[in-house]
Amino acid sequence: MEKAQSSASDTAKWTIMAYMAGDNNLDGAALRDIEEMAQAGSTKDVNVLVQLDRLEDKQTRRFRITMGGGYESDCLETFGETNTGDPKILEDFLKWSIERYPAERYFLILWNHGGGWWEDARSRAGAPQPLTGTPRRKRYNPLFRKNAVALGNSNHSSICYDDTAGGDALDNRELKDVLARTCTLIGGKIDILGMDACLMTMV
């Protein structure tokens, strides 16, 4: 724990939630982006929240970014290694953000490498990861995996890759489920979903 956690006493107009998967070759870029956020920072109307999983020290941190603050001064809590490709980790961050920093509107940013969002039936069945070639975790019914067409070099559409977790990432199904439960929690939709990652605006 870096310092005592704080939370908003009033409902803000916006809560921005940046889920930063830096446990890969983007570790340094994540730190630079946090410093850029600190040029604006949070206000009484806007909460700028970050969860960052790093490669360098294998730690995960949560922040409320303030103007002139940044990585060193704005950390609210530090905990151990997490897998950004595990939907439970994303969902826990969203729940923490919404409960501690309620707002009229919510903006979620998924930050990392991206493999695009389009999937065909064969890639959904269990193709390797596009960046590492590491097979997906066996999350789904093995019956479907057994009957799937094996594609040795097909891209699997995902985001938030975690090198320490063997290249695991969030796929469309996992994102859909997490976002659906989050919408139930807030009683409405997430107002903006941003993808700070390659290929995620494909059409």
Question: Are 113 and 107 contacting, i.e. CB atoms less than 8 angstroms apart?
Answer: no
For residues 189 and 182, give the distance between their C-alpha atoms in angstroms, rounded to a whole number: 8
Comparison of pLDDT for 43 and 9, the residue scoring more: 43
What are the domain boundaries of the chain? 12-115+162-196
- For all residues of the chain together, what is the average pLDDT? 82
CATH topology of domain 12-115+162-196: Rossmann fold (3.40.50)
Q: What is the pLDDT of residues 150-183, one digit of tens each?
A: 323 334 678 899 999 998 999 989 999 999 999 9
Distance in angstroms (rounded) separating the CA atoms of residues 173 and 162:
18
> Burial level of 77, CB count in 10 A (0-12/13-18/19+)?
middle
> How far apart are alpha carbons 17 and 25 in whole angstroms?
22
Q: What is the pLDDT of residues 75-103, one digit of tens each?
A: 999 999 999 999 999 999 999 999 999 99
Q: List the beta bridge partners of residue 78.
A: 61
* The overall pTM is greater than 0.75: yes
Residues in the chain: 203
* Residue 192: partners with Cβ closer than 8 Å, 6 or more residues away: 105, 106, 107, 108
